[in-house]
């Protein structure tokens, strides 16, 4: 179905390309953060911020309470695994494993 799913930004992958690493229920993915970055603010300021992720983009900032409620609803309606699978196999390159 490809819904937006909450994730927390945990690292900056490529500042020039506006890419960050988001953690969605243990699945880490590189996403574009151009929609949530604020002009004049370093991208590092996004670390720890919850965002709504859709098709490889962080679309909007959300608070932790909203993130938890959305994740709960996705699990209850049976969409969580499908969304996590989409995160694992989506068109934006997954984060390379750490050495």
pLDDT for the residue numbered 3:
67
Helices and strands of the chain, counted as H and E runs: 2, 5
Asked if residue 22 is part of any domain, the answer here is yes
**Neighbouring residues of 65: CB distance < 8 A, sequence distance ≥ 6:** none
Q: Which residue has the higher pLDDT, 82 or 18?
A: 18
Sign of CA dihedral 74, 53, 66, 84: positive
pLDDT for the residue numbered 70:
83
pLDDT for the residue numbered 34:
96
Model confidence at 91, in pLDDT bands (50, 70, 90)? very low
Q: Tell me: the pLDDT tens digits for 71-84?
A: 888 788 876 666 66
**Could you tell me the pTM of the whole model?**
0.76
Asked if residue 75 is part of any domain, the answer here is yes
Asked if residue 96 is part of any domain, the answer here is no
- Rounded CA-CA distance 98/81 in Å is 24
Vertex 30: Cα angle to 67 and 28 (nearest 5): 60
Asked if residue 99 is part of any domain, the answer here is no
Residue found under tokens 């490529």:
14
Q: Which of 97, 95, 86, 99 is nearest to 14 (CA)?
A: 95
Taking the CB of residue 94, how many other CB atoms lie within 10 A of it? 14
pLDDT for the residue numbered 82:
67
pLDDT reading at 99 higher than 60: no
Indicate the number of domains in the chain.
Answer: 1
- What CATH number does residue 46 fall under? 2.30.30.140
Asked if residue 95 is part of any domain, the answer here is no
Residue range(s) defining the domain that contains residue 34: 5-89
Q: Tell me: the pLDDT tens digits for 52-64?
A: 998 889 999 999 9
């Amino acid at each position: 179905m490809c819904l937006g799913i909450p994730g927390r930004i945990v690292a900056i992958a490529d500042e020039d390309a506006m890419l960050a690493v988001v953690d969605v229920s243990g699945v880490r993915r590189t996403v574009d953060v151009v929609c949530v970055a604020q002009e004049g603010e370093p991208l590092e300021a996004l670390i720890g911020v919850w965002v709504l992720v859709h098709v490889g983009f962080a679309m909007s900032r959300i608070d932790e309470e909203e993130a938890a409620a959305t994740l709960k609803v996705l699990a209850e309606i049976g969409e969580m695994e499908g969304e996590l699978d989409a995160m694992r196999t989506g068109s934006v390159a997954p984060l390379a494993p750490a050495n």
